[in-house]
């Protein structure tokens, strides 16, 4: 694959851009008790001309998927100065975001099904997920979904002068960083390099069908800490293919470990914290509420390891799960079943063909049914 091009953002000094104070990182958390230990992946090694280096990189990613569901990503093409510029813009937003603008852009989760727009620093009421204010959670955010990328009227006016920088940054994260990450995942799954990018990754905006977020966590008061029993946000799993979080000095993100304990995510300067994609909540019901590591591995299992079930009878599905040899999910499509399920499916195909072609003579139904199956296969 072609060598990676580093991020080259628009200039922050273009005419019309107001001055943005630099983001000054707070002192890193000194406490190290109960911290998680993640694999750290150097994404620049994907450009190595040495096949052994690339093979070792894929192996490390495979171990991270199996053991954690999270990993650190370093040397992904964005410099520390460029990253801190984005932090400064986000800080500038929340320091200058007027109450009038917040109300104009207030999110509407009960109507849109997303957190598109501005989320106030309050939780949800127990009765429903809506824009109505619940108890304070001291967590504000502005979310850029496809509608925001398409219409700058949906942006806070205060950051419109920096739209070129924000869009360039989000685009690079999606089309370069995430694309290379999906290349690694494709290799882990023994697929062509661009398989996940071409067949799974959404497109059409700087963040695809996903979102880009500016978030501000403010200090929590004692009453909120007591009410939440020390937990600021309840455990959850992300539904997207991948979640890219930037490591920050104050450690607050936790993951649920295989030891059934919460562990803090440590700070790694300039690194991305990658949460391996989790649609497990959707495809596996209650199991989807497991911690991120299991949920991340579960996503790969749900998409790639479960047999392809389209066109199979229930009895054939049972037989597919009983097959002793390991297969990736897409490899099940060509598996021929031979048990009672196959016999029932064949009988049902004969009946369907006879219903469609009542003049078909006995003994020729199988030919008609076979042709129908071939036509169906060509659709996928």
CATH of the domain at 93: 2.60.120.330
Does 59 or 342 have the greater pLDDT score?
59
Is residue 300 over pLDDT 50? no
Average of pLDDT values for 78-90?
95
- The predicted-structure confidence for 302-331, as pLDDT tens digits, reads as follows 333 334 555 666 666 666 656 544 444 445
Residue 35 maps to a domain: no
pLDDT for the residue 334: 65
* Same domain flag for 169 and 50: yes
The residue that leads in pLDDT, 69 or 364, is: 69
Token reading at 342: 């196959």
DSSP state of 13: T
Per-residue pLDDT, averaged over 289-304, amounts to 30
Give residue 196's pLDDT.
80
Write down which residue in 273, 305, 337 finishes a domain. 305
Please report the pLDDT score of residue 339 as a whole number.
73
Higher pLDDT, residue 69 or 291: 69
Query: How many CB atoms sit inside 10 A of residue 12's CB?
Result: 16
Rounded alpha-carbon distances, angstroms, from residue 361 to 280, 358, 374: 48, 8, 21
% of the chain surpassing 90 pLDDT: 34
Residue 34 lies in a domain: no
* 357 in any annotated domain: yes
Residue 350's pLDDT is what?
56
In a domain, 281, yes or no: yes
Whether residue 67 is predicted with pLDDT greater than 90 in this model: the reply is: no
pLDDT at position 64: 82
In this structure, the answer to whether residues 332 and 223 fall within a common structural domain is no
Q: Same domain, yes or no, for 271 and 345?
A: no
The tokens describing 88, both together, are 């400064």
C-beta separation of 73 from 64 below 8 A: no
Least confident of 6-10, 80-84, 280-284, 343-347: 280-284
Q: Is residue 22 part of a domain?
A: no
Residues 91 and 182 both lie in one domain:
yes
Does 265 lie in the same domain as 241? yes
Phi-psi region of 75 (alpha: psi -120 to 50; beta: other; left: phi over 0): left
Q: 118: alpha, beta or left, given left = phi > 0 and alpha = psi -120 to 50?
A: beta
Contacts of 105 (CB under 8 A, 6+ apart): 117, 118, 142, 154, 155, 156
pLDDT at 142: 93
> Percentage of residues in the chain with pLDDT exceeding 70?
67
One domain for residues 218 and 362:
no
Region of poorest pLDDT, from 65-79, 167-181, 230-244: 230-244
| Selected residue with higher pLDDT from 301 and 43 | 43
Q: What pLDDT sits at residue 261?
A: 77
Query: What pLDDT is recorded for position 321?
Result: 55
Tell me 290's DSSP state.
S
Q: What is the pLDDT of residue 108?
A: 87
For residue 125 the two structure tokens come to 């009421």
77 plus 156 within the same structural domain? yes
Residues 203 and 290 occupy one common structural domain: yes
Helix-strand-coil percent breakdown of the chain, rounded to 5?
Answer: 45, 10, 45
Residues 69 and 182 occupy one common structural domain: yes
Q: Identify the pLDDT of residue 185.
A: 84
Same-domain check for residues 79 and 208: yes
> Are 143 and 266 in the same domain?
yes
Confidence of residue 104 (pLDDT cuts 50, 70, 90): very high
Q: For residue 113, is it within any domain?
A: yes
pLDDT exceeds cutoff 60 at 280: no
pLDDT score, position 18: 96
User: Is 355 inside a domain boundary?
Assistant: yes
127: in domain: yes
- Global pTM? 0.72
Backbone angles phi, psi at 22, to 5 degrees: -65, 150
Give me the mean pLDDT over the 262-273 stretch.
87
pLDDT at 369: 31
Across 340-360, average pLDDT = 56
Number of compact structural domains in the chain: 2
Task: Identify the band that residue 375 occupies on the pLDDT scale cut at 50, 70 and 90.
Answer: very low
Last residue of a domain, one of 246, 281, 305: 305
Give the domain extent around 362: 314-377
Last residue of a domain, which of 305, 337, 359?
Answer: 305
- Assess whether 290 and 340 both reside in one domain: no
């Amino acid at each position: 694959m072609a060598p990676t091009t580093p991020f080259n953002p628009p200039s922050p000094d273009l005419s019309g851009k107001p001055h943005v104070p630099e983001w000054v990182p707070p002192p890193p958390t000194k406490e190290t008790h109960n911290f998680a230990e993640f694999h750290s992946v150097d994404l620049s090694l994907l450009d190595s001309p040495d096949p052994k280096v690339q093979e070792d990189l894929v192996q490390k990613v495979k171990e991270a998927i199996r053991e954690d569901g999270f990993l650190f990503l370093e040397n992904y093409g964005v410099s520390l100065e460029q990253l801190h510029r984005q932090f400064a813009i986000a800080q500038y937003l929340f320091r200058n975001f007027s109450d009038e603008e917040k109300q104009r852009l207030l999110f509407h989760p009960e109507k849109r099904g997303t957190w598109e727009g501005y989320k106030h620093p309050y939780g949800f009421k127990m009765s429903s997920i809506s824009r109505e204010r619940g108890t304070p959670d001291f967590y504000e955010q502005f979310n850029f979904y496809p509608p925001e990328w398409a219409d700058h009227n949906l942006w806070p006016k205060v950051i419109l002068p920096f739209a070129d920088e924000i869009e360039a940054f989000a685009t690079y994260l999606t089309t370069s960083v995430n694309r290379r990450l999906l290349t690694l995942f494709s290799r882990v799954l023994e697929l062509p390099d661009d398989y996940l990018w071409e067949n799974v990754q959404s497109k059409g905006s700087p963040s695809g069908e996903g979102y880009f977020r500016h978030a501000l966590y403010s200090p929590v008061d004692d009453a909120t800490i007591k009410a939440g029993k020390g937990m600021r946000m309840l455990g959850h799993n992300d539904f997207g293919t991948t979640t890219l979080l930037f490591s920050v000095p104050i450690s607050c993100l936790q993951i649920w470990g295989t030891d059934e304990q919460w562990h803090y995510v440590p700070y790694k300067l300039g690194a991305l914290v990658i949460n391996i994609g989790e649609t497990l909540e959707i495809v596996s019901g209650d199991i989807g509420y497991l911690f991120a590591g299991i949920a991340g591995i579960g996503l790969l299992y749900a998409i790639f390891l479960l047999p392809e079930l389209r066109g199979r009878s229930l009895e054939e599905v049972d037989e597919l799960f009983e097959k002793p040899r390991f297969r990736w999910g897409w490899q099940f499509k060509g598996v021929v079943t031979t048990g009672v399920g196959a016999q029932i499916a064949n009988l049902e195909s004969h009946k369907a063909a006879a219903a469609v072609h009542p003049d078909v003579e006995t003994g020729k139904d199988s030919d008609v049914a076979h042709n129908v199956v071939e036509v169906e296969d060509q659709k996928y």
